[in-house]
Amino acid sequence: MKELIINSQNEKEEIYLIEDGILIEKYLDDKSKRKLEGNIYIGKIQNVIPGLQAAFVNVGENKNAFIHLKDILPKVDVVRNENTLIEKSNISKVVKPGSPVIVEIKRDSYNKKGARASTHINLPGRYIVLLPNSPFITVSQKIEDEAERRRLIEMTKKYVPAGMGAIVRTSAVGKNEENIKKDLENLAKKWEEIIGIEFSNDFPKLIYKGNEIIDKLLLDLVDRDLVKIHVNTEKIKNSICEKLKFLDKEDLVVENDFEEAMIANNVLKQLEVAENRKVWLKSGGFITIDRTEALTAIDVNSAKFVGKKNLEETAVAINEEAAIEIAKQIRLRDIGGIIVIDFIDMNKEQNQKELVYLFSQEIKKDRTKVQIEGFTKLNLLELTRKHIYSE
């Protein structure tokens, strides 16, 4: 059972996702800060860098956005073919300075780095992500049932517009043909409205503003056991109810009882843990989480725990408990990019395999894409994770 708790004050919204009393995700949406991710622009190629196979796109913001050749060439469903296409292409022959290009911002600017752009547009719907420029259909990797995957692909093929593609979301599992058809029709209409804006000489300019965090959350969660939303004002309650009406989820309970919900779910105490570098385990061990610009390093420490007969058994016990907690903390803190975990060394290869399996099962609870690469020669577990939403 999932619940959302929303605290809206001035230009900021604090949003907490609770599952069975446990805080599993948290977001701060500061509307005073200009966010670009998800926005679609008619941009202008400012300059081309052949040595990097990349270009800079003027989208009318303070900094030009960076775009790589692979984000300009047509996206295909076979990675091997896509890589071959990139190797044989020269960006100087693909785009020219001053030419217009429709791009979506995939990653916001931060520190001294500009935003990352792509011509591969994604328009997320309730059950489908429409790919206007990528004519293939695929299914979320989280849908593992092969029969259901085939069923969803066949339904989607019937209604996806010619020349376009789609990604079928996990929320589509069990849904009927009418659900898929309606979602695709809405997305196709939205895309027509976006590209209906004339290019003329009036570019660069914004032609579509990406959804705010609360809109994305509702779109993602209304079909995933979300049963109640708690807010702090009547104004935000009315706003949420309007959004739910659009999603045909008017029966979802929305209550103006923010403080009561925070106390009932012990959110403040859970937030303290989520903000600490060190997280204690029930056994007496702990993990430390250190985030840098390049990667996030997580270290597992047994501390004073000596509850098993030998060092191998102690390492296994601590590592298993840590794996469950690390999967939770990665999601709660929305840690993206490269993640390296230094588990306590284990001598038996079988124990390593079982630990990776346990961790992979726990990480499946995450709503975003996580790729586990395995243990390195230095016994560090490597993985990558995509941010759910940028803040």
- Walk along the chain (391 residues) and give the pLDDT tens digit of each residue: 899 999 999 889 999 999 999 999 999 998 888 889 999 999 999 999 999 999 999 999 888 999 999 999 887 654 545 566 666 788 999 999 999 999 999 988 776 677 999 999 999 999 999 999 999 999 998 899 999 999 999 999 999 999 999 999 999 999 999 999 999 999 999 999 998 866 566 789 999 998 889 999 999 999 988 999 999 999 999 999 999 998 999 999 999 999 999 999 999 999 998 889 999 999 889 999 999 988 999 999 987 766 656 788 889 999 999 999 999 999 999 999 999 999 999 989 999 999 999 999 999 999 998 999 999 989 999 999 988 875 4
Q: Are 59 and 117 in contact (CB under 8 A)?
A: yes
| Paired tokens of 184 | 């695709």
Q: Are 279 and 325 in contact (CB under 8 A)?
A: yes
CA 340 to each of CA 48, 80, 148, 273: distance values in angstroms, whole numbers, following the listed order: 34, 27, 34, 20
Which one-letter DSSP state was computed for residue 54?
E
How many of the other CB atoms lie within 10 Å of CB of 272?
9
Q: Are 126 and 247 in contact (CB under 8 A)?
A: yes
Report the distance separating Cα 47 and Cα 59, nearest Å: 13
DSSP lists the bridge partners of residue 8 as 13
pTM of the full structure: 0.85
| Paired tokens of 264 | 């009932």
